[in-house]
Amino acid sequence: MDAILEDKLLRYTPDTMQALRRLCNLDKPGDMDFAITALQDWLKKQQHLTKKDYSRSYLETLIILQKGSLERSKAQIENICAIRTLLPEYFEVKEDEEIFKLDGLTFDLLPTLTEDYYRVLAVKHFARNGDTQRFFKIYKCAIRMTEYAMATDYCRGLICILDFRDVDIVDYIGAVNIKEFYQFIQIMTKSYALSIKYIHAITPSTAANAFVNLVKKMLSNKIANRFYVHKTIEQLYEYVARDKLPSEFGGHGEALADKHIKWVEALTSKKLIEHLKEMSEAKSTQANKMKDTISDPDLGISGSFRSLNVD
């Protein structure tokens, strides 16, 4: 593609495409086209994959996110097709907006990229109590937002900000179903293979440390070492420019509550629903190879995080 596709929620600087292609060593004329064609040719030969006709813009986004590596791009396609086959309940396509209103939570993929071309995901939790069913809805919403980004965004990777300042962290995370949470982590980090620069959790509670330490066991060492807990929002400003952040985080950006409404509309739009239905057909007849990846983690606890010792 010659230019980044326009999107009403996500913006880019004029040099974004050329800069990211350069980082992937695919900035010379014809380099990216050659890489995309090579990936298309590979797809045609994969008899175990049920979908082979991806758009060139989608494949370019994939190649950029995988740092220009065709082998990593192939593995990502293999893994996400396998996980859709093994865990279809996470990818269920519904048009009901109520599913994504998610009382007790607001979110936004910030419209402006960072100076090094990362997209920032900002999530604010404010529910009074934890709820297992709400968490599962959050996972499905995050997966749908990822599909939206794969179809429309053009960035280097993701920075996640999780604001827990307004919740009782012990009660809140106590409702998390460990098996579902672990499966969600594997979908995002191994199947989508998202490039995550940082994860920032904000909470004054020291009880969060026990939870974070357990979560880190579910992550690769590389991502675990990029997971930070901050007691105050001011500590976040050392990593993300304050002026780019939403007003709830002390920045000058649009309020999360307002952007959340726009995201609900985008994630339930007719255009995205059609795309999701098409992508839901992308499965694998060799999915069993990934069964071990989504098996229950051996973390010393089971069921929910209520049994976690936070003293």
- Note the pLDDT tens digit of each residue in 17-52: 999 999 999 999 999 999 999 999 999 999 999 999
Task: Identify the helix (H) or strand (E) that includes residue 172.
Answer: helix 169-174
Q: What is the pLDDT of residue 200?
A: 96
Please report, for the domain that includes residue 183, its CATH number. Answer: 3.40.525.10
Task: Tell me whether residue 9 is in a domain.
Answer: no
Task: Tell me whether residue 115 is in a domain.
Answer: yes
Task: Tell me whether residue 105 is in a domain.
Answer: yes
Task: Tell me whether residue 263 is in a domain.
Answer: yes
Q: What is the pLDDT of residue 80?
A: 95
Q: What is the pLDDT of residue 301?
A: 45
Q: What is the pLDDT of residue 27?
A: 95
Q: Contact at 8 Å (CB) between 108 and 149? A: no
Is 82 found in the same domain as 105?
no
Q: Contact at 8 Å (CB) between 242 and 229? A: no
Is 118 found in the same domain as 23?
no
Is 128 found in the same domain as 22?
no
Is 208 found in the same domain as 153?
yes
Sheet holding 105-109, edge to edge: 105-109, 118-125, 157-163, 196-202, 227-230
Tokens of 185: 């982590």
Number of residues in the chain: 311
Q: What is the pLDDT of residue 132?
A: 84
Amino acid, single-letter form, for residue 133: Q
Task: Tell me whether residue 275 is in a domain.
Answer: no
Beta-carbon contacts of residue 53 (< 8 Å; ≥ 6 apart): none
Q: State how far the Cα of 83 lies from the Cα of 97, in Å rounded to an integer.
A: 25
Q: State how far the Cα of 216 lies from the Cα of 261, in Å rounded to an integer.
A: 32
Is 290 found in the same domain as 199?
no
Q: What is the pLDDT of residue 288?
A: 79
Which stretches of the chain drop beneath a pLDDT of 50?
299-301, 308, 310-311
Is 56 found in the same domain as 176?
no
For helices 208-218 and 178-186, the axis angle rounded to 10 degrees is 50
Tokens of 263: 């995201």
Q: What is the pLDDT of residue 96?
A: 65
Task: Tell me whether residue 233 is in a domain.
Answer: yes
What is the domain range of residue 228? 98-267
Is 108 found in the same domain as 231?
yes
- The candidate with the shortest Cα–Cα distance to 306, out of 215, 126, 177, 179, is 177
Is 201 found in the same domain as 111?
yes
Q: Compute the radius of gyration of the chain from its Cα atoms.
A: 19
Is 150 found in the same domain as 221?
yes
pLDDT in tens, 219-240: 999 999 999 999 999 999 999 9
- State pTM to two decimals: 0.91
Is 58 found in the same domain as 24?
yes
Is 238 found in the same domain as 167?
yes
129 secondary structure, DSSP code: S
Q: What is the pLDDT of residue 127?
A: 82
Q: Contact at 8 Å (CB) between 191 and 85? A: no
Number of domains in the chain: 2
Is 125 found in the same domain as 220?
yes
